[in-house]
Every structure is written in C-alpha cells, then in structure tokens.
Amino acid sequence: MKLDGPVTGGPCWTELGTSDLEGAKRFYAELFGWRPETDPRQEAGGYTVAHMGDAAVAALTPLYQESQPVAWNVSFAVPDADAAARRVEEAGGTVILGPMDVFDAGRFAVALDPAGAAFQLWQARTFPGAGLFNAPGSLGWVELATRDTERARDFYTTVFDWSVNASEWYTQWGIDGADFGGMAAMGDRFPPELPAHWMPYFCVTDVDATAAVALRAGGGVVMEPSSMPGGRRLAVLRDPQGAVFGVYRPGEGG
C-alpha cells in the first residue's frame, strides 16, 4: 500500500465481526502480537481495539445482529458520511445502516455495492482510523472480490473518485495514483455461493511462518503462501470462527 495513513477516499480502518470475541482476541494476539483493549462502556457493546505498540490497528466486535456474518470489514474515509451515503445510493449501491454517530469518535454507515459487497464509510472526528499502516501486524492492502468487475469499477470510481491501474489480470485502486488495494474477478476457483466481498491483508515479516501459526492456533489456510511478481508473497487464512483475511509481505514496490 502506497498510503501511510488515513486519507479521504482511502481505507482507514478494518474490523472483525465475530461469534467468539474472546477466542478472536487470543487468536489474533498469537498470530500478530496484537494487544486488545475492550471498551468498558456498556453502550460500546464489547467493541475491542487491537494495538501494535501504542497504535490502533484494527477492531474486533461481537456480532450485533443474527444476520451478520462472521467476517472482516473495511472502512473508507469520507469527509461527510451523509453525502457519501447519498453517492452510494445514486451510483446503484445500498445503505443498510446509518449514517449514525459513534460517540464523539466519528460518524459511519454500512453500505453494499451493486454486487452485494459490504463496506463502511467513516467520517472521522476524534478517531481518524488506524495509526499504523504497512508495518507487521497492520493493514497493508485491501481487496475486492466480485463477479462484475466492470460494474464495480464504475461504482467505486463514482463514489470515491479512485484512480485505476488495470492490467488484463488485476485492477489496482488508488488515490491520485497511490495504490492501496485491488480487485479480483471471482472465477471458477470461488464457490458459487460465496458473495462478493472486501478483504483486508495484514503485513507480516514471514508469510509462511504466519500461516503455520494460524494452523497451530486453530485457524486454517484458504490459499497457500504464494510468491508474486516484484518479490511479494501472500496467503489467505481463516480464523477459528471462519473469518477470512490475507497476510502479505511487501516486495520491492510495496
């Protein structure tokens, strides 16, 4: 990721909705060395912020609705959550929650793109988002998997004004050319029942060792560690509750 902090339109935060908060705390602490801190206020509903050192890097939360899947979610920074929600709907997406205030931290909404991939809008007040990017245990990339790449490209460039760096095989999203994520077409290797979705990749120093730790800690490996052009190496893992996420070792170009 060529961004080193939250910027308008870029990914600013990622959070896990899980069926076992305590189990998730243990798993990710072992995997990444995260230090989880749960908000003690009853109205916070168990919201837990994970830290690397003093920096907030992600959140872990209980499931708040029966229909909510166990999954990682990605938030994108916007200057005005209400205006961004209107753009989502005008571009063919759906707002399923909010916009609403989160104490004095900010204002957020949960939306679906036209293919049903969920993402969040975050208007920062006292909390801008992750305090660390591109370092071990922190967010390093975000990726959309979808079966309609052309519609997704039109939607997200309309809503966020992202720049696009596309090849025959892969599309990279950016802010004024500073790439922060990508888009993969969901072909035959994806189960037909799997919906379109966003997935975070966390930076690690050793992808293979991290995959081995995930297995020992009760998780699974969805995609074995693989090398990519430019020296990048990545894997897709699954935590014990079923949430899927990526791990990533940057190459020469990040």
pTM, two decimal places: 0.95
What is the rounded distance in angstroms from the CA atom of residue 43 to the CA atom of residue 101?
13
What is the rounded distance in angstroms from the CA atom of residue 79 to the CA atom of residue 202?
25
Strands 163-166 and 171-175, sheet pairing: antiparallel
Residue type for position 170: Y
List beta partners, residue 246.
201, 236
Domain final residue, candidates 95, 124, 153: 124
pLDDT at 151: 97
Q: State residue 14 phi and psi, 5-degree precision.
A: -140, 140
What is the rounded distance in angstroms from the CA atom of residue 168 to the CA atom of residue 142?
19
The pLDDT tens digits along the chain (254 residues) read 888 889 999 999 999 999 999 999 999 999 999 999 999 999 889 999 999 999 999 999 999 888 889 999 999 999 999 999 999 999 999 999 999 999 999 999 999 999 999 999 999 999 999 999 999 999 999 999 999 999 999 999 999 999 999 887 899 999 998 999 999 999 888 888 899 999 999 999 999 999 999 999 999 999 999 998 777 899 999 999 999 999 999 876 55
Judge contact between 172 and 208, C-beta under 8 A: no
Instruction: Tell me, yes or no, whether 211 and 235 share the same domain.
Output: yes
List beta partners, residue 143.
182, 199
Q: What residue numbers bound the domain in which 224 lies?
A: 139-249
In a domain, 133, yes or no: no
Judge contact between 8 and 77, C-beta under 8 A: yes
Q: For residue 99, is the peptide bond before it cis, meaning its omega torsion is within 30 degrees of 0?
A: yes
The CATH number of the domain holding residue 65 is 3.10.180.10
What is the rounded distance in angstroms from the CA atom of residue 50 to the CA atom of residue 60?
7
Q: What is the DSSP letter of 114?
A: T
In a domain, 2, yes or no: no
Domain final residue, candidates 99, 124, 149: 124
In a domain, 84, yes or no: yes
pLDDT at 247: 98
In a domain, 115, yes or no: yes
H or E stretch at 79:
none
| Residue from 165, 161, 140 nearest 232 by CA | 140
